[in-house]
Amino acid sequence: MRPDWDQYFMEMAEHAKTRSTCSRRQVGAVIVKNKRILSTGYNGAPSGTAHCLDIGCMREKLGIPSGERHELCRGLHAEQNAIIQAAYHGVSIEGATLYASLQPCVLCAKMAINAGIVKIVFKGNYPDALSMEMLKEAGIELIQFDNI
């Protein structure tokens, strides 16, 4: 059966997460406008630096729960990488939709708001109520996807 657009792009976000180098959780993101992919991202360490899969996870070693102390993580989130890749290549994402295999955290939410994202379609939940509050306050359309 032919997938609708949301399913199509969410499947791409799910596929992007297979490149993740995070040892705790794999997340993928795709930024789309007018049914065209503008950028993709997955979570992992910055280019040219050691991957957590290779050297271990500091947050895991310290017993830090999911959703806390992001500053102690070597990696960037999938949404951050997708936004950065668009900027790096000079691609405007104003008015675009972000597809993510997980609900964005508050850091990613703030970046999406300021980058001009107007809609976020996400799959899984993340323990970050402030993220959802800020996205709603900014008028971003939120759709929790449960079709895959």
- Residue-wise pLDDT for 25-35, tens only, equals 999 999 999 99
pLDDT at 143 over 90: yes
β-strands 141-144, 119-124 pairing: parallel
77 is in an annotated binding site: yes
What's the confidence (pLDDT) of residue 69? 86
Which residues form the catalytic set?
A: 79
* Domains of the chain, start order: 5-44+76-147 (3.40.140.10)
- Give me 43's structure tokens: 């979570």
Strand blocks (E) in the chain = 28-33, 36-42, 97-102, 119-124, 141-144
pLDDT at 70 over 90: no
Residue 83 buriedness (CB in 10 A; 0-12 / 13-18 / 19+): buried
pLDDT at 148 over 60: no
